Structure 1
Amino acid sequence: MESSNLVIENSTKPDVLEKMYRKDPNAFTKSFKQAWEQNPDSPILSVWYERLNFSEKEKKSSMLENGFIFMGILAIMAGVSTRIIFHFIEQETIAPINLAFGIIPFIAAYFVYKHTPKRSIIYSLIALFLVSGVYLNLLPLDFNNDSIILAYLHFPIFLWVLLGLAYTGNDYLQSSTRLAYIKFNIEYGILYASMAVSGMVLALLTMQLFSFIGLDIGDFYFSNVVLFGAAALAIVGVHLVSMNLKLAKNVTPFIAKIFSPLVLITLLVYLVTVISVGKNPFLDRDFLIAFNGILLGVLAVTIFSITEKEPDGKKSIFDYVNMALIVVALIIDSVALSAIMFRITSYGITPNRLAVLGVNILICANLLWIMISYMRFLQNKSGPIAIQNAVTKYLPLYGIWAVFVIFTFPVIFN
């Protein structure tokens, strides 16, 4: 029996029609056309007609309303600005971190356009971007100075917090809005990575085609096309995620569930191997740096998993996996803290050691808060929102630490 007949036969059964639609939306839509032509007076089919056609009407008529033209202007401006900044980087007159100012202010402008915050927030964003940009370029261009390098490394964190202020707008104090910002970053990262891979394939194909006729366009193509495209694509990606693109939203929960157990298993195997080979983070500087890198990675995966949990979600095996990840991360952080304190007391304070110490203390306090919230959740003493609050309410502290490093380290350790 044809699917169109199934739609007609079940035209009085809304639950069956819903199941058919969810199973295969495309087949249902095609079959529905014939059913609608034969039964235009059916109340249930009338509702389905509006439902199926509303999205198409919205797609055709609301591109301008959704800020499509504004997004296009910002994308072009980001591409041009990034290319100009790259020119001065090639001349070695400014630091490479300035490339962030070719993209992030335009993303912030898009957020302000979409969410329309109060004027005080808009003025604060403009002032902070201007002051930080001027300050960054007043720093000596010295890549042998640890305090300068640390300022460069912490600048992306500071700019990310500014983006969060632009995204959350008037609701920057609400945990739910901060959580939405974290989810936005995750979905944006997945979408941009997918588009970037496609762009790289196109770039390689283009350069290969030109090489067949004896032209090497590698340097020109990277400087003028790839760089412009990467910056413009960053704005386009923000627009697509803002339009509630289903691709990233549907993929992220599955990635969270897959990555958490894999990271836990890998980490446990790695720690056992480290103990067996006798590696010592107290004496091996490079190993201590790697240890801290692992800690940051585990924290990121943990936050990723927590943000993808439904506010009214019940306990599952993945919650125990996350709890185990947090415990392992705390063990790693304890070792790293002990090692950096040993190095400070033995060899003295340096910018790098002080920065690592501060980051480890911040992460340790955050992990403890998350662990306590998770324990209460697993004991049915609180809900998932308490765990998410342990993430969202702590985020500004990372921004404050970044500001401290950026604006004080170059002065203290001059």
Structure 2
Amino acid sequence: MDINEKIVENIDNPHELEKFYRKDPEAFKKSFSYVWEENHDSKVLGVWYERLYFKDTSSTGLVSFLQKDFLSMSILAILAGIVTRIIMHFITQEAIAPINIIFGIFPFIATYFVYNNIPKRKILYTIAGLFIISAIYINLLPLEQKDSITMAYLHLPIFSWILMGLAFSGNEYRSGSKRLAYLKFNGEFCILYAIMAISGMLLTALTMQLFNFVGLDISKFYFNNVVIFGVAGLAMVATYLVTRNLKLAKNIAPYIAKIFSPLVLATLMVYIITVIWVGKNPLLDRNFLISFNGILISVLTVTIFSITESGTDERKTISDYINFALIVLALGIDSVALSAIVFRLSSYGISPNRIVVLGVNILIWVNLIWIMLSYMGFLKNKTGAVAVQNAVTKYLPFYGFWAGIVTFVFPLIF
């Protein structure tokens, strides 16, 4: 029986028609046109006809909007590339700190968000004002390798990332679903940017080799005028594609979350067992404590990424139990790290680094407990998946607040 006959036989069976379509969409569409000619009175086939051949009569306005949206992205990408190139020039001259490179990317992404979702004036002024104040303040700090200044440099990107989130959320900045959408955007952005960056690296390698064949070394010129420009411009392109609901990143992200979570859990368990076996002590080894905190932040990032990609489905999967195990493990690591930091503070005294690390670990510790308790309620059917996501989204402002304190207050105190 060919597919034409199958469609006719199941003309009043939507479930079977859907199965045929999913098995081979192209063959189904081709056969459907023949079946539809003989069965115009079928309402089921009428719905399928609209699904397969739907044409939006308002497409002119949509195309105009897309062109306008694409044009705004293109202008911002060019501006981001130019500004980043100028900033890089001053960095190489050692006139400004390398952290200034974020001002060639973050403000432009925020501008794109604001342009497509214009917020109230007070929000707009807050975003613009804080970016301007950040740029001025960070460049008023002396170019010295002091702990407080280094900490300010490290926390400025986090503070700027929160500002981008405010621009993304607009008037709905208090909405948990909007914050969750921002976290999803970041995951999809990173995936898409990485894919395009790899393609860019291959193009760069090919270009270098082609010019080497004719005896020209253009590596310095190419890096300064193409690569740097491209790094910033590509960020705008990735932002545009993700916000235009590009299916590539959205389809890949959940699978990456499901693959990476168990791998991270297995790796972390092996690592912890190895640490105990060799007798490493984070209370005494400063470098080991730093690596411990790095692992903690990485685990928190992977867990949050996995939670945001899990959706609001109330059904529990193996991924939920893996996430819960990761959170418990991360909480144990954070508890050890907190003990080590308190020990070092009591033994070696106060320093900007120790206070910053203490603050970060306390923040993460509280957040992990909240997520863990929410997950326990979810796994016991006492709460829904939304409660777990709220434990992530509602806590984001605290990270931004702490990053702001470290960036703007610590250099003044220390």
The two structures have a TM-score, normalised by structure 2, of: 0.94
**Aligned counterparts of 2:60 and 2:244: Cα–Cα separation in 1:** 14
Change in Cα spacing, 1:227 to 1:7, as seen in structure 2 (3 Å) is farther
Q: Which residue of 2 aligns with 1:400?
A: 401
Summarize deviations over 1:338-377 as a string: whole Å, max 9, x none: 1111111111111111111110000000001111111111
Q: Which residue of 2 aligns with 1:259?
A: 260
Q: Which residue of 2 aligns with 1:62?
A: 62
**Aligned counterparts of 2:27 and 2:98: Cα–Cα separation in 1:** 51
Please say which of residues 123-132 and 154-163 is displaced more in the overlay. 123-132
The 5 A counterparts of 1:106-121 are 106-121=108-123
Please say which of residues 11-20 and 244-253 is displaced more in the overlay. 11-20
Given residue 24 of structure 1, which amino acid in structure 2 is its aligned partner?
D
**Aligned counterparts of 1:282 and 1:194: Cα–Cα separation in 2:** 40
SS in 2 for 1:155: helix
Change in Cα spacing, 1:35 to 1:214, as seen in structure 2 (3 Å) is farther
Q: Which residue of 2 aligns with 1:138?
A: 140
Given residue 62 of structure 1, which amino acid in structure 2 is its aligned partner?
L
Q: Which residue of 1 aligns with 2:320?
A: 319
- The Cα shift of 1:172 comes to 0.6
2:245 corresponds to 1:248: no
Alignment size in residue pairs: 412
**Aligned counterparts of 1:340 and 1:69: Cα–Cα separation in 2:** 50
Q: Which residue of 1 aligns with 2:18?
A: 18
Q: Which residue of 2 aligns with 1:412?
A: 413
**Aligned counterparts of 1:126 and 1:181: Cα–Cα separation in 2:** 19
Identity of aligned residues (%): 63
Change in Cα spacing, 1:233 to 1:127, as seen in structure 2 (3 Å) is same
**Aligned counterparts of 1:158 and 1:335: Cα–Cα separation in 2:** 27
Change in Cα spacing, 1:51 to 1:93, as seen in structure 2 (3 Å) is same
Change in Cα spacing, 1:49 to 1:267, as seen in structure 2 (3 Å) is same
For structure 2, the residue ranges without an aligned partner over 5 or more in a row are none
Change in Cα spacing, 1:380 to 1:93, as seen in structure 2 (3 Å) is same
Q: Which residue of 2 aligns with 1:79?
A: 81
Change in Cα spacing, 1:223 to 1:58, as seen in structure 2 (3 Å) is farther
Change in Cα spacing, 1:18 to 1:156, as seen in structure 2 (3 Å) is same
Given residue 172 of structure 1, which amino acid in structure 2 is its aligned partner?
Y
For structure 1, the residue ranges without an aligned partner over 5 or more in a row are none
Please say which of residues 66-75 and 388-397 is displaced more in the overlay. 66-75
Summarize deviations over 1:149-182 as a string: whole Å, max 9, x none: 1111101100100000001111111111111110
**Aligned counterparts of 1:38 and 1:221: Cα–Cα separation in 2:** 62
Given residue 163 of structure 2, which amino acid in structure 1 is its aligned partner?
L
2:105 corresponds to 1:103: yes
2:211 corresponds to 1:210: yes
The 5 A counterparts of 1:277-296 are 277-296=278-297
- The Cα shift of 1:223 comes to 1.1
Q: Which residue of 2 aligns with 1:382?
A: 383
- The Cα shift of 1:87 comes to 1.2
Summarize deviations over 1:103-123 as a string: whole Å, max 9, x none: 111111111122221122111
Q: Which residue of 2 aligns with 1:366?
A: 367
Given residue 139 of structure 1, which amino acid in structure 2 is its aligned partner?
L
- The Cα shift of 1:18 comes to 2.0
Please say which of residues 381-390 and 10-19 is displaced more in the overlay. 10-19
SS in 2 for 1:62: helix
- The Cα shift of 1:10 comes to 4.1
Change in Cα spacing, 1:59 to 1:294, as seen in structure 2 (3 Å) is farther
**Aligned counterparts of 2:342 and 2:59: Cα–Cα separation in 1:** 58
**Aligned counterparts of 2:374 and 2:384: Cα–Cα separation in 1:** 9
SS in 2 for 1:381: coil
Given residue 48 of structure 1, which amino acid in structure 2 is its aligned partner?
W
- The Cα shift of 1:317 comes to 2.2
SS in 2 for 1:156: helix
Given residue 29 of structure 2, which amino acid in structure 1 is its aligned partner?
T
Given residue 358 of structure 2, which amino acid in structure 1 is its aligned partner?
L
- The Cα shift of 1:45 comes to 3.5
- The Cα shift of 1:27 comes to 3.6
SS in 1 for 2:283: coil
- The Cα shift of 1:22 comes to 2.5
**Aligned counterparts of 2:247 and 2:53: Cα–Cα separation in 1:** 18
- The Cα shift of 1:195 comes to 0.8
**Aligned counterparts of 1:266 and 1:59: Cα–Cα separation in 2:** 50
2:49 corresponds to 1:49: yes
SS in 2 for 1:225: helix
Please say which of residues 242-251 and 12-21 is displaced more in the overlay. 12-21
**Aligned counterparts of 2:172 and 2:48: Cα–Cα separation in 1:** 36
Summarize deviations over 1:48-72 as a string: whole Å, max 9, x none: 3332344798888734413111111
Q: Which residue of 1 aligns with 2:174?
A: 173
Change in Cα spacing, 1:151 to 1:290, as seen in structure 2 (3 Å) is same
